[in-house]
Structure 1
C-alpha cells in the first residue's frame, strides 16, 4: 500500500469485526508460525511472504474466501493503484 493509504486499516477493522462475530474461526494455515519441520510440511506459514524482503508491494492472502472461512466477506478492497518507489 502507499504510505498514506487507509485501506489496510479498513481491512483490519473488517477482519476484527468478523473475528468478534465468530470467535471459533480457525487461524489460516498460511498465517501460523512453523517452528518445526512437521508444521512446515503440513502447510503452516506456506504462503506467507515477509514484506521487507521485497522491493515491490507484497500481497499476502490470509483469508481464502473460496474456502468458506468467512462466507461473503471480502476484508481487503484493493484499489489496484501502484506508486513509483524511487519517488518515495
Structure 2
C-alpha cells in the first residue's frame, strides 16, 4: 500500500480559505493564459512548468505565497523532502 498524506488536501483548503477571504489577490502572471502576443510579451504564462511533462520533480516557486503576503496563512508545509527519493 502506498504511503498517504493529507498535506495536499490541507494546503488546498488553506489556499481556498485565503482566496475567499481576499478575492482581490491577483493570479500570478505565470499562471495566466496567454492567448495574444501582447500577453506573452507582458509575461503571461512565462516559465510555467507542467509537472507531467517532466521525468523529474518540478518546483514552481510562483505557486507558493511569499512569507507575509497573507497574514496567518502558510498554504503549504513541506514535511522535508517534497518527493520520495526511493520511488524515483
Aligned position for 2:22 = 22
**1:11 CA drift (Å):** 1.1
Structure 2, unaligned runs of 5 or more: none
- The alpha-carbon distance between structure 1 residues 48 and 85, as it changes in their structure 2 partners (threshold 3 A), is same
**1:87 CA drift (Å):** 4.2
- TM-score, structure 1 length as denominator? 0.73
- The alpha-carbon distance between structure 1 residues 66 and 82, as it changes in their structure 2 partners (threshold 3 A), is closer
CA distance in 2, matches of 1:56, 1:2: 19
- How many residue pairs get aligned? The number is 88
- The alpha-carbon distance between structure 1 residues 13 and 63, as it changes in their structure 2 partners (threshold 3 A), is same
Structure 1, unaligned runs of 5 or more: none
CA displacement, residues 20-41 of structure 1 (integer Å, 9 cap, x when unaligned): 1111111111111112221111
CA distance in 2, matches of 1:39, 1:10: 33
**Alignment partner of 1:9: what SS?**
helix
